[in-house]
Amino acid sequence: MAVKKKSKPIIPLYFDEEREGLRAAGRFNAQLMDFIREKVQPGITTIEIDRLIYEYTTDHGHKPADLGYKGYNHSTCTSINEVVCHGIPDGTVLREGDIINVDLTTIVDGWYGDSSETFLVGRVTDEARRVVQIAFDALYVGIEAAQPYGKVSDIGRAIERFVKAHGLEVVREYQGHGIGREFHQDPGVPHYLPKIGASQTVLEPGMCFTIEPMVNAGTWRTFIDSRDNWTVRTLDLAPSAQFEHTILMTETGPELMTTTEHGPKPGHRF
């Protein structure tokens, strides 16, 4: 789940046993993503996806972080086509040609793991496939740009440059976030480089955060659907896609905490 920007960061650093807690949360989060990926098929409803996620998580003794968060009543966010993020599971049936982002956050022994993927539902349009591909590639461009003692702004600069080079736009109203024993904490991680006020926060070993670029086929601008005050849509209703990993910055570079066994790897072509 994306979060709006914050300021004045107080950033925790994690070491030793704390890192093991983060790794355990990330491993289960990835396991959950692999479980749900085979269920995302034409004919399933988003509320059924939500139910499966809840049952799998609780059957393994863990908690869905979304459930009850700021009054949110579901275990995941399911964002279809022009929905950028925070789509609410309901009776909507997935149809051939849809793209859907499933955003998972789980709590394992007090530690949070957070990731998302955008899935292609059957055969999709060239435009939808392209925005999914660029969003996926942009995630790894951002991860590669994150290096020990670099700056948070390095991530946004690299992602924005890559996405714009392909004629698409990066959402600016929402960003990645620090994570650990809390769902959303500092540092905030913009996926673009602001003209003024770019983050000078240094990426120190021990920081844990998400990178989760939201890429739009049209304008980067969005609006919140007034019918539920959660669902974020592209202003022009063009398709949007997102991918997310939880990252631990180590002394030697970024460690991906939420790598799946069966999901797409860097270089994958959709």
Residue extents of the structural domains in the chain: 17-256
Lowest mean pLDDT across 128-132, 187-191, 194-198: 194-198
| 41 CB neighbour count, 10 Å cutoff | 12
Rounded Cα–Cα distance for residues 174 and 4 (Å): 5
First to last CA, the chain: 23
CB–CB of 182/10 below 8 Å?
Answer: no
Return the SS3 of 35.
Answer: helix
pLDDT, tens digit (0-9, with 9 covering 90-100), for 125-156: 999 999 999 999 999 999 999 999 999 999 99
State the DSSP code for 125.
-
> Which contiguous run of DSSP H or E holds residue 129?
helix 126-145
CA atoms within 13 A on the CB side of 178: 21
> Residue 101 burial (CB < 10 Å; 0-12/13-18/19+)?
buried
User: Which amino acid is it at 20?
Assistant: E
Q: Is the pLDDT of residue 117 over 70?
A: yes
The partner residues of 55 in beta bridges, in order of sequence, read: none
Torsion 112-135-214-202 (CA) sign: positive
> Which contiguous run of DSSP H or E holds residue 101?
strand 99-108
Structure token pair of residue 119: 């899935």
CB–CB of 27/71 below 8 Å?
Answer: no
Query: What contacts 149, CB < 8 A, 6 or more positions away?
Result: 202, 203, 204
Percent of the chain beyond pLDDT 90? 94
Give the domain 17-256 fold: Creatine Amidinohydrolase (3.90.230)
The partner residues of 202 in beta bridges, in order of sequence, read: 151
pLDDT of residue 10: 81
Q: Nearest 5 degrees, angle CA 129-CA 135-CA 138?
A: 140
Rounded Cα–Cα distance for residues 16 and 101 (Å): 33
pLDDT of residue 196: 79
Q: Is the pTM here over 0.85, yes or no?
A: yes
Q: φ and ψ at 114, to 5 degrees?
A: -145, 125
pLDDT of residue 5: 52
pLDDT, tens digit (0-9, with 9 covering 90-100), for 234-269: 999 999 999 999 999 999 999 999 999 999 999 999
Q: What does DSSP say about strands 214-216 and 185-189: parallel, antiparallel, or unpaired?
A: unpaired
Confidence of residue 204 (pLDDT cuts 50, 70, 90): very high
CB–CB of 130/70 below 8 Å?
Answer: no
Rounded Cα–Cα distance for residues 218 and 200 (Å): 29
